[in-house]
Structure 1
Amino acid sequence: MRPVLLYTLARFAIFLATAGVLVLVGARGVLLLLLSLLISGVVSFVLLSRQRDRMSSIVETGVRRQRTRFRDARTKEDV
């Protein structure tokens, strides 16, 4: 679960840094929000690829484990 938290915090930090730079440039309001989301999304896509891969493997492992538990419980219930 730690990689998920670290990835989320990194995305949030990149968003805040992008918003800060855009405020200095003069963006305000909805334009600030939209540009921050767009630019931070592109930057995160490039810079956080390893963390995203690590996070997705952790999430996938958790989903598989839950599906196995559910399938085992359903099988046990049917018997």
Structure 2
Amino acid sequence: MRDLLLYSLLRVVILLALWWVLMQLGFGMLLGGVLAVLIAMMLSFLLLDRPRRRAALRLQEADEARRARRGPVRDEDADEEDSLLDEPRG
């Protein structure tokens, strides 16, 4: 959870810093916001590789732990379809 929070916080800081700079350059609130979002997205992809990977790993581990607690999922509809396909046609 800490890794995800850190990654999110870093992205927000980059976004707000870019938005502030663009506002100071006179781009206006809306255009500056849109440009800040697009630039922040690209910068976070390039600069925040390690925090993003750690956050993704933690989310994957949490998902695997949740699936292990729930046990196997049985799809009754798929079982019914398989049984119909397995029957000999006559």
- TM-score norm. by structure 1 comes to 0.87
Q: Unaligned 5+ residue runs, structure 1?
A: 75-79
Letter aligned with residue 53 of structure 2: D
Q: Give the 3-state SS of the residue equivalent to 2:27 in structure 1.
A: coil
Separation in 2, partners of 1:28, 1:68: 50
Identity of aligned residues (%): 36
Higher RCO structure (Cα 8 Å, ≥6 apart): 1
Separation in 1, partners of 2:19, 2:29: 11
Letter aligned with residue 29 of structure 2: G
- TM-score norm. by structure 2 comes to 0.77
Q: Unaligned 5+ residue runs, structure 2?
A: 74-90
Aligned match of 1:77: none
CA contact (8 A) 2:19 2:33 kept: yes
CA contact (8 A) 2:23 2:29 kept: no
Separation in 2, partners of 1:40, 1:58: 23
Structure 1 moving runs of 4+ over 4 Å:
none
**Per-residue Cα deviation, 1:12-43 (whole angstroms, up to 9, x for no partner):** 00001100110111111321111010011111
Larger CA Rg, structure 1 vs 2: 2
Name the Cα RMSD after superposition: 1.3
Give the length in aligned residue pairs. 73
